[in-house]
Amino acid sequence: MKNENKKHSALHEKDVISATEIISSNAVAAIQIFRKKQPTSEELIEGILNGNISALSRAITLVESTNASHLAKANEVINACLPHANKSVRIGITGVPGVGKSSFIEAFGKHLTGLGKKVAVLAVDPSSTISHGSILGDKTRMEELVKDPNAYIRPSASGETLGGVARKTRETITLCEAAGFDTILIETVGVGQSETAVHSMVDFFLLLKISGAGDELQGIKRGIMEMADAIVINKADGDNIKKAEMAKAEFNRALHLFPAKKSGWTPKTSTCSALTHKGIPEVWNTIVEFLKLTKENNYFFEKRKEQNQYWMLETINEQLKTNFYNHSDIQKLLESTKKAVQNDEISPFAAAQELLEMYFKK
Ligand code: GDP
């Protein structure tokens, strides 16, 4: 029995050794495969410029990464893509949840690919960290577009701040354009500040609405209406057609009360149905008209220049803020300084000044 045990344990020992060997050789192989799978910047750039979707997706993941070591590689890829970007139309689409954004993008996107366009669909949803992507998360309403080889759909980047999410989307636009996408649709939820961020990265801003009970203008933020280049009343089908037409007339009247736009464009209102596709081609025709006008009067190009400058300044603001609050000395002092300010021991301005001076002296 004793002998048998010994034999058993000897066998066991041998087994353990060989198992360890297998595991470690597998681990090395796995690491080698993993390393091989991590493309270099050059490979990514070449892939993107050749329209390779997996290279594009990997580069976007790099841009979205919070890992500091990925930043340099991401910047290298973006810089190489820049000369190949810019040849697109960027369209922002907003509307409250349930208005039919996903359904509209599916119908509109299919219409565009039918015209021979290459369509990328992106989203700005700063809440996606919590809700795990409330928009573009539900791909069931984009069933056809998902399968379309000329369409690329990417859910919102996650992030703690709108600024961070927006910056990542802004860079993703560059990558998609370099990969040959000529029409970029950027969806955002019609709540909060995200419309302003999307508005500052698109050429054309479309507000999607549905008809209500005759009080169309209630609850709609003036700022959002002012940003809109077109207001499209969706779900104009079945019993709803008449109500949608009435809503259209009401929005039209309201839009005429706003001052003329710098673009020289008069915002248009129309109705459509994402379900029956009625009115969908007309939305694209409106955008074509807008592009013709704003390219002729140069507004299109001037606005893009302004937007580039805006994103540089935004990135500086965002980076400075992040660095400041993440600085260990500031973190150590911030809580006690907040208390001192609450107790009137120091004025808020003097306290801010002290912290800032300390930070910049470092
Ligand atoms: P989102 O939350 O804005 O993305 O809206 P969805 O695209 O998810 O649509 C919300 C609901 O409205 C779904 O049940 C859709 O089927 C429905 N819907 C969307 N577009 C239309 C339309 O044009 N007509 C009708 N009748 N229903 C629609």
Residues 6 or more apart in contact with residue 315 via CB below 8 angstroms: 167
Question: Token match 């499209």: residue?
Answer: 232
Q: Is the dihedral of CA 101, 102, 103, 104 positive or negative?
A: positive
pLDDT on residue 258: 85
Decide: 243 and 210 in contact? Cβ < 8 Å: no
Q: Which helix (H) or strand (E) holds 270?
A: strand 268-271
Nearest alpha carbon to residue 160 among 71, 61, 66, 67: 66
pLDDT at 193 over 90: no
Whole-number Å distance, alpha carbon 92 to ligand 1 midpoint, is 18
C-alpha radius of gyration, the chain, whole number: 27
Whole-number Å distance, alpha carbon 178 to ligand 1 midpoint, is 32
Decide: 141 and 245 in contact? Cβ < 8 Å: no
pLDDT band at 214 (very low <50, low <70, confident <90, very high): low
| One-letter amino acid for residue 143 of the chain | E
Residue with CA at minimum distance from ligand 1 atom 25:
235
Whole-number Å distance, alpha carbon 214 to ligand 1 midpoint, is 20
Residues 6 or more apart in contact with residue 342 via CB below 8 angstroms: none
pLDDT band at 139 (very low <50, low <70, confident <90, very high): low
pLDDT at 1 over 50: no
pLDDT on residue 179: 97
Structure tokens, 108: 């509109």
Q: Is 134 exposed, middle or buried (0-12, 13-18, 19+ CB in 10 A)?
A: middle
Helices 328-342 and 299-326, interaxial angle, to 10°? 90
> pLDDT (tens digit, 9 = 90+) per residue, 226-280?
899 999 999 999 999 999 999 999 899 888 888 889 999 999 999 999 999 999 9
Q: Indicate which atom in ligand 1 lies nearest the CA of residue 97.
A: 2
Q: What is the largest CA-CA distance in the chain?
A: 99
Residues 6 or more apart in contact with residue 161 via CB below 8 angstroms: 126, 318
Q: Indicate which atom in ligand 1 lies nearest the CA of residue 135.
A: 4
Decide: 45 and 80 in contact? Cβ < 8 Å: yes
Q: Indicate which atom in ligand 1 lies nearest the CA of residue 272.
A: 23
Quote the percentage of the chain above a pLDDT of 90: 58
> pLDDT (tens digit, 9 = 90+) per residue, 273-329?
999 999 999 999 999 999 999 999 999 999 999 999 998 998 898 889 888 998 999
Decide: 77 and 84 in contact? Cβ < 8 Å: no
pLDDT on residue 174: 95
Q: Indicate which atom in ligand 1 lies nearest the CA of residue 95.
A: 3
Whole-number Å distance, alpha carbon 103 to ligand 1 midpoint, is 6
Decide: 186 and 123 in contact? Cβ < 8 Å: yes
* CB-defined site of ligand 1, < 6 Å: 95, 97-103, 141, 234-235, 237, 273-275
Q: Which of 102, 103, 142 to mutate to test the pocket of ligand 1 (most atoms within 8 A of CB)?
A: 103
Q: Indicate which atom in ligand 1 lies nearest the CA of residue 187.
A: 4
Whole-number Å distance, alpha carbon 187 to ligand 1 midpoint, is 14
Whole-number Å distance, alpha carbon 264 to ligand 1 midpoint, is 32
Quote the percentage of the chain above a pLDDT of 70: 82
Domains belonging to the chain, first-starting first, are 2-77 (no CATH), 85-297 (3.40.50.300), 308-361 (1.10.287)
| Mean pLDDT for the chain overall | 85
Q: What is the pTM of this model?
A: 0.83
pLDDT on residue 323: 87
Residue with CA at minimum distance from ligand 1 atom 9:
100
Whole-number Å distance, alpha carbon 155 to ligand 1 midpoint, is 18
